[in-house]
């Protein structure tokens, strides 16, 4: 998270990081300060997002509006950093699957644990 925040000010930090190359593709244009690369990276991100969106054409419309705005670089940076870089990195974070033992230890930390949801199998 800290690296991502620092990356807003200096995207080259992200390109030189140890994270997967697939994630770095979202910030290469920003790091190079290359407008055509930024637009291309942003458009590619929109295409990727359209695959998982119920109204994919709305993403393209939003892109077209924002890409022609006077402050298009700010829009691009937010999209590429937040939805490209961060989502990609977030998918690479190893998570521990809770075990029954962990659940029992958790419950022992409290004198009473109440749950309002029903277990549905």
Q: Considering its fold, how many domains does the chain have in total?
A: 1
Give the confidence band of 121 by pLDDT, cuts at 50, 70, 90.
low
DSSP 117: S
Q: Is 119 among the domain residues?
A: no
Backbone φ, ψ for residue 100 (5° rounding): -60, -40
Give the domain range for residue 89: 2-108
Identify the residue with better confidence: 58 or 5. 58
Q: Is 118 among the domain residues?
A: no
**Could you tell me which of 87, 121, 70 has the C-alpha nearest to residue 4?**
87
Q: What angle do CA 45, 25, 66 make, to 5 degrees?
A: 35
Please state, in angstroms and rounded to a whole number, the distance separating the CA atoms of residues 57 and 60.
5
Predicted structure pTM score: 0.73
Q: Is 115 among the domain residues?
A: no
Q: Is 114 among the domain residues?
A: no
Q: Is 120 among the domain residues?
A: no
Q: What is the pLDDT of residues 49-65, one digit of tens each?
A: 999 888 888 999 999 99
Q: Is 117 among the domain residues?
A: no
**Could you tell me which of 31, 32, 26 has the C-alpha nearest to residue 83?**
26
């Amino acid at each position: 998270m800290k690296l991502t925040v620092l990356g807003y000010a200096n995207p080259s930090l992200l390109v030189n990081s140890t994270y997967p190359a697939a994630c770095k593709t979202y910030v290469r244009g920003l790091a190079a300060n290359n407008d055509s690369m930024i637009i291309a990276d942003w458009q590619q991100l929109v295409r990727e997002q359209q695959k998982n969106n119920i109204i994919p054409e709305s993403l393209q419309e939003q892109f077209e509006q924002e890409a022609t705005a006077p402050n298009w670089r700010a829009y691009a940076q937010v999209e590429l950093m937040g939805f490209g870089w961060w989502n990609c990195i977030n998918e690479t974070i190893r998570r521990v699957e809770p075990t029954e033992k962990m659940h029992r230890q958790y419950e022992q930390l409290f004198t009473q644990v109440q749950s309002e949801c029903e277990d549905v199998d």
